[in-house]
Amino acid sequence: MYCFFICRNIITMINIDKIKKEGFKGFKTIEELRNDNFIIPSEKGVYYILSLKEKPKFLSIGSGGYFKGKNPNVDIETLEANWVDKTMIIYIGKATSLKKRLNQYIKFGEGKNIGHYGGRYIWQLTNSKDLLVCWKTSHDDPRVEEKKLIEEFVSIHGKRPFANLVN
């Protein structure tokens, strides 16, 4: 048990180090960003939502907002089917302003009627406030970069990240 805990932490550190080497910064929990979002840059870029748990528990009703009256919740079976094992990346997003987009994402998770319906599955995780957020600014088109990151993910794992509903 003790060795498993240490080994898992080492694997997590290696994965985060790999993501850092790709140029991602931040690595703050959603809860930390809720309380202090000044660290998030206003530039365009891409971002990851990371889960350090192998497989978190799912909620039948999450905290996501009802944007345009649409229920953001799905059944537990859908969440189970979308979960991707052996990765900490559970959502890949893009932004013309990382600060604005991530603030929208967090507010949507607080139940606000905000336009960030994509990635909504994370708000049905029991540990959503503990998920890590990291970002990378870019001079390239964030849509192109997001698409490339999702394609790389699919090539490794055989499907999209847990909360990415479209490629």
| Listed range (31-35, 51-55, 144-148) with the worst mean pLDDT | 51-55
Sort 164 into a burial class: Cβ within 10 Å, 0-12 / 13-18 / 19+: buried
pTM value is: 0.90
**Maximum distance among all Cα pairs of the chain, rounded to whole angstroms:** 48
Q: In which residue are the tokens 């490794």 written?
A: 156
Per-residue pLDDT reduced to its tens digit, 51-94: 998 888 999 999 999 988 899 999 999 999 999 999 999 999 99
